[in-house]
Structure 1
Amino acid sequence: MHILHILNDIRELGNGIINVAVDLACLQAKAGHNVAIASVGGEYEALLAQYGVKHFHLDQSKRPLNLINAARSYHRLIQSFQPAIVHAHMMTGVLLAWALRRSFHYRLVSTVHNEFQRSAILMGLADRVIAVSHAVMESMQRRGIPIEKLHVVRNGTVGSPRHGVTEQPVSLCRPAIATVAGMYHRKGISELITAFEQIAPEFPEAHLYLIGDGPDRPTFEAQAQRSSAGDRIHFEGFQPEPQRYLQSTDIFVLASHREPFGLVLSEAREMGCAIIASDIDGIPEALDDGKAGILVPPADSKTLANAITQLLKSSDQLNAWKHRAQQNLEWLSVARVHSETLAVYRELLIK
């Protein structure tokens, strides 16, 4: 099967959309399919080449003249590669593939990674729409996507081609509380800092590690500096191997206000962190409906602080939640994501 994935770029910056697509492309090529990615390029080109995944340069920057050039480049690409399936992971890609597909015979698949964006409705232009959680599927159905178009393929990271041999864990001050997230307000970073400030006096040895980067980082750094516990709040920036931090983390927190699935929860579970996360969108699914992690209301720093306190007060509880995180990990494998995605392709091609 000839499969083409369309992405804006394939940079190694912790973007979950890119990570999912790169994993898929590598496993599809390993299984013997002819696989290519079209994007502006990035650090993952080397990994893709190792798996025999072709890369075509395609600049989809949203400038009028550039979009015309992108359409011409895409047309030439399709003529050359002749995919049976085009799998678009971002909005511009699905529009481009949809607008030009009448001249060719491929079938179009999209994956909805961030359904909270208004423009996510455009992903419904595809012949089949993959939702990364049941919560996303239900949201897209409410927004008018026909149920017969929708399929759920939940994310997973266990066995990812992106994860090589992890180096030695980073030495963190313990007990270590950490998050791995983009520095955006919707990730609940402000509430996490507030919650840490509330628990800090009772646990003077605890430290908070914020792993990630983004446009709102200066705001969060200013908040941390004003905090009475600012000297124990560490901004670590983007880390290409967050597992090195997760291996030394006692409590992993994902305090998002919106989260279609939360790919990092799979990684935190695999590393054996006790997990506290928002009871919102696809997060409960990633945590086996609360069996693998503690669920708290989003945007509620007081309840979040109470949950952290309960774990720090009791080593038995802390260890129990670490153990629970690592149970039932099989379904979070990239092999399962690969298999279910291929099933969507095949069902579409036989119609």
Structure 2
Amino acid sequence: MEVFMIDIGKGTQDLLYSDENLNTENWVKAILPSPTTMLAEKVKKIEENLRIDGFIMGGGPVKKAILEHLKKGFKVTISERAARTIRDDIEEVKRLGIEIVDKVENPNFFLRDLGFELYEKFLKLAGKEFNPDIFAVACQDHGFVKGQSDRITRFKYFEERLKETRDPHDFFFVQETGFFSRFDSILQQLRDGGYKGFVMDSKVASVCGILSYAKEIGIKEFIGLDIGNGHTLGVSIKEGEICGLFEHHTRYLTPEKLKELVEKLASATLTFEEVFNDNGHGAAVFEKVNPEKVLIAGPNRNLFRKYGEYAYPGGDVMITGCIGLYEVAKRKMI
């Protein structure tokens, strides 16, 4: 079984292609600028009105670049499907001065998270064909319910899913959700490309990667942290199952505050209100744990370095999410 894994973040997209004949450390991999970063640079070079088509994708840099283009005096027209890259609420997009149409005639800019031609070229450079049996994608999606805070929408998903299962490998989608617009867009792109695959939240994919590393070093009870550019997710794990979870915005955290959150997570005293009222997403804690270690991943992992240790699944902290995706594919898709 060949699996192509891609973990799409705000700054980078991390690629990994499995080969059952090789050790994980020898699989073809790459760390590239994220799709939104690359597309933002393209927008900056365009000196004409934008006619945008495509899919819903991660906003961030490309959204900012499109709005800056508008401020320069250029007109921006976008298809309704792609418009939710700017804002989930179409009316808000219109209020920004962007024209939304059913069909864009002669588009000069295309939005999408998945670049199939790029992946084929990447594998060709490595002397391999791009022909995965499973296409596994991780990205982040807050979810959208009109009139509801996206912090609540996102965390509600975690709470409801945890009532059904505490196995992080179950947190994936093969069918459209109806409220995670970016996940649904990814699944549509996979179908259009003729690929069998799934999508899951990048933070949970990282948890699965950390769990893989914990098993490798013989740890059964631990705290896992993914400290990202935008969000920090903490989980308490015992015997492969989630005992508690919290998510916060990284910019509001200090090493001392994060240490306190981790201690309360372990003792099962952390509450939803404590995290949410501090501008985080929330917490859901079921039982206490006695962690053998605190294992850390994510681009801002140095924030907690003196209180834990880095996880190296597959020998590389940068592919933590990809290894998590592989574990899900192995367990759930074969």
The reply to whether TM is greater than 0.5 is no
Q: Into which bin does the TM-score normalised by the smaller protein fall?
A: 0.3 to 0.5
Structure with bigger helix share is 1
TM-score (norm 2): 0.33
Q: Which has the higher strand share?
A: 2
* TM-score, length basis structure 1: 0.32
